Amino acid sequence: MTTPAGQSAPEVVTFGETMGALRARGPLKLGGDLGLSVAGAESNVAIGLARLGHRVRWAGRVGADELGDLVLRTLRAEGVDTSHAAVDDTGRPTGLLLTEPRLGTLTRVSYYRSGSAGSALAPADVLPALTPGTRILHLTGITPALSATAAGAALAAATAAHEAGTTVCLDVNYRSRLWSGERARTALRPILAHTDLLIASEDELPLVLEHPDVPEPEAVRTLLAAGVGEVVVKRGARGASVFTADATTDRAARQVNAVDLVGAGDAFVAGYLSGLLLDADVPARLHRAVTTAAFAVATRGDWEGLPSRHELTLLDEPDGTTVR
**Residue from 142, 138, 200, 205 nearest 167 by CA:** 138
Q: Which residues pair with 262 in a beta bridge?
A: none
Q: Could you say which of 266, 302, 316, 319 is catalytic? A: 266
CA dihedral 23, 26, 29, 33 (to 10 degrees): -60
Asked if 201 contacts 233 with a C-beta cutoff of 8 angstroms, the reply is yes
Helix (H, G, I), strand (E, B) or coil at 241: strand
Asked if 34 contacts 292 with a C-beta cutoff of 8 angstroms, the reply is no
Q: Which residues pair with 169 in a beta bridge?
A: 138, 197
Question: Within 13 A of 78's CA, how many CA atoms are on the CB side?
Answer: 29
Main-chain phi, psi angles of 110, to 5 degrees: -115, 130
Q: Which residues pair with 97 in a beta bridge?
A: 21, 111
266 included as an active-site residue:
yes
What positions carry a catalytic annotation?
266
